[in-house]
Structure 1
């Protein structure tokens, strides 16, 4: 058997073309990583969801015990601050603000609600 030699010439890539292709791939990869990090940073994390759930529970407890005062306490390694502020000119209506802080002091979640506070009995 006689082998036939290919009559077509194969063209090879030059070093410059390979380098340009690599630069394009690195740029596309870099843009993809920036998009991924922005999406990951802006998404709701499980820690924020857990903090929101704890604040909802604490808010319902606050509504039941409306005679409580401003306080700072901790629940499940989250720092929680409870602050009461007057609501407009109403005597018995107040806004309760609950804020959950992480271990680094960053705000994870915050809830506010207008509640009817019982006047303390003398």
Structure 2
């Protein structure tokens, strides 16, 4: 059996407070890094969606017929909307909107094209 008059080593209140502050500071830095990483992944997703939209816009410019359609490209859904531009029947406004897997809008691109059907 251990003797009862033996002293036990313990931390002071000041040491505990300092260690808690160090842990809180490290946790705060880790949360800032996590936030920056998630924000940069969104900008990468947006850049990829914009590149797909521009590629689709080039394909539409070469095609002979413009029409509303929905396309799948990588992890994005591209909605193509074609409407008459102003009062001019020779011009069309083409709008392509990219949505991610959660149906959130990632990027939009609009362009005016000559109507080749006229």
- TM-score, normalised by the number of residues in structure 1: 0.70
Whole-angstrom distance in 2 between the partners of 1:77 and 1:42: 18
Indicate the structure (1 or 2) with the bigger Cα radius of gyration: 1
Q: Greater CA deviation, 85-94 or 69-78?
A: 85-94
Whole-angstrom distance in 2 between the partners of 1:66 and 1:107: 28
* Contact map agreement 1:77 1:103 (CA 8 A) in 2: yes
| Runs of 5+ unmatched residues, structure 1 | 1-12
| Runs of 5+ unmatched residues, structure 2 | 1-9
- TM-score, normalised by the number of residues in structure 2: 0.72
Task: Look up the match of 1:69.
Answer: 67
Task: Look up the match of 1:58.
Answer: 56
CA 1:55–1:14: 2 relative to 1, 3 Å: same
Higher strand share: 2
* Contact map agreement 1:63 1:115 (CA 8 A) in 2: yes
CA 1:33–1:60: 2 relative to 1, 3 Å: same
